[in-house]
Structure 1
Amino acid sequence: MDLAAIENQRRADRWDKGIKIGEGTFANVYKGTEKATGRKVAIKKIKVGEMKDGLDMTALREVKFLQELRHPNIIALLDVFSVKQNINLVLEFLDTDLEAVIRDKALIFQNADIKSWMAMSLRGLEYIHRNGVLHRDLKPNNLLIASNGELKIADFGLAREFGDAGSRMTCQVITRWYRPPELLFGARYYSAAVDIWSIGTIFVELILRVPFLAGDTDIDQLKKTFHAMGTPTEQDWPGHTKLPDYHETPQHPKNPWWNMISSIGKEGQDLARELLRFDPLQRLSAVTALHHEYFTAFPRPTPPIKLPKPLAELRPRALAPDETQGKPILSGTENGVVKRKAESPSTLGLDGKRIARRLFA
């Protein structure tokens, strides 16, 4: 046994793997414990042997970003080790997620609670963007919640670095219900504004307690968006008719859609409107959103420890790699099943394994 194998076995022996709490085509997540301390952890086992050409780019990206990004509102990576053909990520254990909070009708929460969840989400997102990373899969069940109420952004398998100059990227990212119109129209050059749209739809979902824009197909997603908010014009969104997959859609008048969330107050309505601008250049950045008057207006955000939480155990979660296959995943909402097609990254074969060894060192 070589030194690397001995070290990996030493790391593996540090943890006990328990019941499965998440599942996907290329990964499973287990509830585990640290043997020496009894601390609860989550162990994400990436099944490299299931991949056609070696280690998938999603696995490399997730490890890379979790090693680099350290913030109270981002899930912490505690250890990485490999056993046989499997790569294991040891993550801090988080009790539940925002989807479970929204779905649990027994929970009553107030505007101050929504404000707290939004503030934590935006703080984590601002840190991610400040470090030149797009998350590209923000949705309620990727916003996990710790026992002390702290919200943490998770699942970086579809994350991507971005720079000022911009580079060509796939438009097949972000679960459809939270995917912005520029991606639905096939944009290959885009910015952090795609994550901002996702946060905006999550904000509205927190208020309504149901998904805001729940399309069955990409075309249906656009139709539902424009029916709710009005069909954009060139004046609203310059250049959108030149996007690669642009097609004409039924014309709908501009609607004051924010009236449906009047319970959040005028400041909250204004924040939602600014996050959900059709033109990506007009959407607020995460840092600007955090300085919006919504967060200083009454009521003050609920302290995380006092936020309402579901009593039930966290149900098994569908992981991002399933979405790369475009397979149906139970959404956990009244709407039943949604096809969540996301990016299918290229695989790296042996070169990828060499990169992986460097990442895990």
Structure 2
Amino acid sequence: MTTITDNTIYSFEDLSSFEIPKSHLLGSCDHVGDYEKLNKIGQGTYGVVYKARNIQTNEIMALKRIKIEKLKDGFPISSVREINILRTVHHPNIVEFKDVVVGKSLDNVFLVMEYCEQDLATLVDCQIHFTESQIKCLMQQLFRGLKYLHKNFIIHRDLKVSNLLLTDKGLLKIADFGLARNYGFPNDPMSPCVVTLWYRAPELLFQSNYHSTAIDMWATGCIFGELLLQKPLLPGQSEMQQIDLIIDLIGTPNDKIWPGFSDLPIAKTFSVKHQPFNNISHLFSCVSKAGIRLLNLLLMYDPWKRATADECLQSSYFRESPLPCDPSVMPSFPQSRKNR
């Protein structure tokens, strides 16, 4: 076995060492100098994103700089996963990965992706009013992207409005795969500390180590509600407050509606407040019965009963008036981004 420090490889077996030629350190990646950074358009846990122009082709791209805390710790596993997943997925509703480019040092690595003019968080925060037809168009595209991901055994694990991008042609793109994971059968334990708090599924809040594509579907229900309300649906400031907000919305969980609930770590440790009512239809009083039914199928405690992306696409909500508009007639908005 070997380890790399700076540009030297050391053997764990006999501590012998040899230097890697500097010309080989960064492999055959293109150089970030081929791009002109125009402005910063976002910043997340795993890196900063810039709008940039390819100097040779004039094409506008997004450059995501990989956040490397300590060079000796190596390349972040989150970025390795993101690159591996983005290289294999190809769908109109998933942001397109183009390349990896590097700077002069090992801690100066960028992902090159297609540029999208907007993200939904900025539009919601700016109180842009989407019509029901436009909301249906956006949700239909989101479900199509998720159907593709889940069919290919990928869980996004960080769906939120700021990770949903919108092009000037009205196409919704799922982005930021830093927390995404492949899953299989049997389902290996995963950390419950994923998904931004406002979109975090009950099984994560109650600290189940086993989760599935259902956590993406809960987050999608929160996004659906946010687009309808034009504000965050469950804006908790702590995990316990988040649980309280969920209970206020859909009632108190129990083993009858969520088998195995009482065995979850948080359920054993804390007693939750009693609230017997589902208030979704009251909160969304202007939404049709089909829309309420879709919200209830997404915002359901039992992850095994939560609707899949494919089931959501079959919902009568998308077949009743007003019908989803075509992406090409979605309105365009001034280019701006806010960090959430």
* TM-score normalised over the length of structure 1: 0.83
Is 1:102 the counterpart of 2:124? The answer is yes
Is 1:206 the counterpart of 2:227? The answer is yes
Identity %: 37
Amino acid at match of 2:90: R
The offset of 1:295, in angstroms, is: 1.3
The offset of 1:5, in angstroms, is: 4.5
Q: Does the 8 Å CA contact 1:258/1:272 hold for their aligned counterparts? A: no
The offset of 1:233, in angstroms, is: 2.1
Give runs of aligned pairs for residues 189-228 of structure 1, distance below 5 A.
Answer: 189-228=210-249
For 2:311 and 2:71, locate their aligned partners in 1 and report how far apart those are by CA, in whole Å: 41
For 1:201 and 1:221, locate their aligned partners in 2 and report how far apart those are by CA, in whole Å: 12
For 2:184 and 2:211, locate their aligned partners in 1 and report how far apart those are by CA, in whole Å: 10
Report the secondary structure of 1:45's partner residue. strand
Amino acid at match of 1:80: V
Using CA pairs under 8 Å that are at least 6 residues apart, name the structure with larger relative contact order, 1 or 2.
Answer: 1
The offset of 1:60, in angstroms, is: 0.7
Is 1:118 the counterpart of 2:139? The answer is yes
Is 1:273 the counterpart of 2:273? The answer is no
For 2:68 and 2:317, locate their aligned partners in 1 and report how far apart those are by CA, in whole Å: 45
Report the secondary structure of 1:253's partner residue. coil
Is 1:177 the counterpart of 2:198? The answer is yes
**Aligned pair partner of 1:297 in 317, 320, 323:** 320
Q: Does the 8 Å CA contact 2:93/2:141 hold for their aligned counterparts? A: yes
Report the secondary structure of 2:278's partner residue. coil
For 1:221 and 1:298, locate their aligned partners in 2 and report how far apart those are by CA, in whole Å: 34
Give runs of aligned pairs for residues 125-274 of structure 1, distance below 5 A.
Answer: 125-246=146-267, 247-274=270-297
Residues matched between the structures, number = 315
The offset of 1:180, in angstroms, is: 0.8
CA displacement 1:182-222 (0-9 Å, x = unmatched):
10000001111000000001101111111111111101100
Higher radius of gyration, 1 or 2: 2
Q: Which runs of 5+ in 1 are unaligned?
A: 318-330, 332-361
Amino acid at match of 1:21: I
CA displacement 1:97-133 (0-9 Å, x = unmatched):
111222222x332111110010011111111111101
Equivalent in the alignment of 1:91: 113
Q: Which runs of 5+ in 2 are unaligned?
A: 1-21
Equivalent in the alignment of 2:95: 75
* TM-score normalised over the length of structure 2: 0.88
For 2:338 and 2:51, locate their aligned partners in 1 and report how far apart those are by CA, in whole Å: 11
Q: CA 1:119–1:22 in structure 2 vs 1: closer, same or farther (change >3 Å)?
A: same
The offset of 1:26, in angstroms, is: 5.0
Q: CA 1:264–1:17 in structure 2 vs 1: closer, same or farther (change >3 Å)?
A: same
Q: CA 1:233–1:316 in structure 2 vs 1: closer, same or farther (change >3 Å)?
A: closer
The offset of 1:308, in angstroms, is: 3.0
Is 1:55 the counterpart of 2:75? The answer is yes
The offset of 1:25, in angstroms, is: 5.8
The offset of 1:305, in angstroms, is: 2.2
Is 1:65 the counterpart of 2:85? The answer is yes
Q: Does the 8 Å CA contact 1:49/1:86 hold for their aligned counterparts? A: no
Superposed structure 1 runs of 4+ greater than 6 Å apart:
none
Report the secondary structure of 1:127's partner residue. helix
Give runs of aligned pairs for residues 311-330 of structure 1, distance below 5 A.
Answer: 311=334, 313-317=335-339
The offset of 1:13, in angstroms, is: 4.4
The offset of 1:56, in angstroms, is: 1.3
The offset of 1:154, in angstroms, is: 0.3
Moved more, 115-124 or 298-307: 298-307
Q: Does the 8 Å CA contact 1:26/1:50 hold for their aligned counterparts? A: no
**Aligned pair partner of 2:308 in 267, 285, 288:** 285
Report the secondary structure of 1:174's partner residue. coil
Q: Does the 8 Å CA contact 1:108/1:308 hold for their aligned counterparts? A: no
For 2:133 and 2:70, locate their aligned partners in 1 and report how far apart those are by CA, in whole Å: 45
